[in-house]
Amino acid sequence: MLKLNAVKLEKIWGYELWLASTHQIACQDDFKEICRGDYPLLVKVIQANDKLSIQVHPDDDCAVKLEGAGNRGKTECWYVLDAEENSKIVYGIKNGFSKEVLAKAISENKLEQYLEFVNVKKGDFIYIPAGTVHAICSGLRLLEVQQSCDLTYRIYDWGRGREVHLEKALAVIKCEKMTPVSQFAGEFNCKYFSLKKIDVNGGWSMLAPEGDFPAAVQLLFVISCEKAVIRTSDEKAGKQLSPEDIYAVLPGEKITVEGKASIMKITAS
């Protein structure tokens, strides 16, 4: 078991904490070493003090087509850790609008009328498959689980002057039915990752299943805790938990949490 140390990346709108990463932009060498290679997921905490750009990510096929062999797409999800009152996200585009209509709206700075704005609150879960137009608005702190990819195509940046990528963005947008935003149901599975929320009140143990590295390495993210410790089977005292700690658990390792805590278990599919 390895406690991972976050890498902080300052942004124009706030900051990101890269909690579990073997991506070249902010690689945690000790994590990459125990994974025995590149981990297929990237886990972050996002603190949005201002609006992020309106953006979209490519799927696996488009990533290779537009950026070259060896690239992967970016399907992601968010779990809302904290939210100011009336916090919102952009979550898809309104039904019935073609890419041609969107391109015209972007050129005329009229895109907002075609966007779906959704209110979110603490504990909500949002699934964002590649190709979804989206943005995080201000006043939100999120846990983000995604494919290990940093390909982002900006559509609109609220006049901040950063580069936009309209041609690539329009090439990868998918206008599909969205999964409704709701409180996290306790478990989620998709093609790329699985999440399970574990509420510990006293004690909980897990034997990580055997599997091939690096994907078989599991992650435990601490949502909240109260006088809780985590230990392996060969430890007596254990390590004190704090909110937003994250631990990498190796295949075949037995982990015990004692005390009171809410933990998100993250697994690569």
pLDDT of residue 28: 98
- Give the phi and the psi of residue 267 in degrees, each rounded to 5: -135, 140
The per-residue pLDDT for range 104-157, each reduced to its tens digit, is 888 888 888 889 999 999 999 999 999 999 999 999 999 999 999 999 999 989
Q: Detail the DSSP E strand segments found in 49-167.
A: 54-56, 76-83, 88-93, 115-119, 124-128, 134-136, 140-147, 153-156
- List 55's β-bridge partners, or say none: 134, 154
Confirm whether 141 is a catalytic residue. no
Q: Which of 154, 160, 162, 231 is catalytic?
A: 154
Tokens linked to 107: 């050129």
Give the helix/strand (H/E) hosting 262.
Answer: strand 254-268
pLDDT of residue 31: 98
Please state the domain extents for the chain: 2-187, 193-268
Domains 2-187 and 193-268 alike in fold: yes
Q: Detail the DSSP E strand segments found in 26-120.
A: 41-48, 54-56, 76-83, 88-93, 115-119
pLDDT class for 234, splitting at 50, 70, 90?
A: confident
How many beta carbons lie within 10 A of that of residue 123, not counting itself? 15
What CATH class does 193-268 carry? mainly beta
Mean pLDDT estimate for the chain: 95
The per-residue pLDDT for range 166-218, each reduced to its tens digit, is 899 999 998 778 899 999 999 999 999 999 999 999 999 999 999 999 999 99
CATH of 2-187, one of 2.60.120.10, 3.40.50.720, 3.30.465.10, 3.90.79.10: 2.60.120.10
Q: Does residue 236 have a pLDDT over 90?
A: no
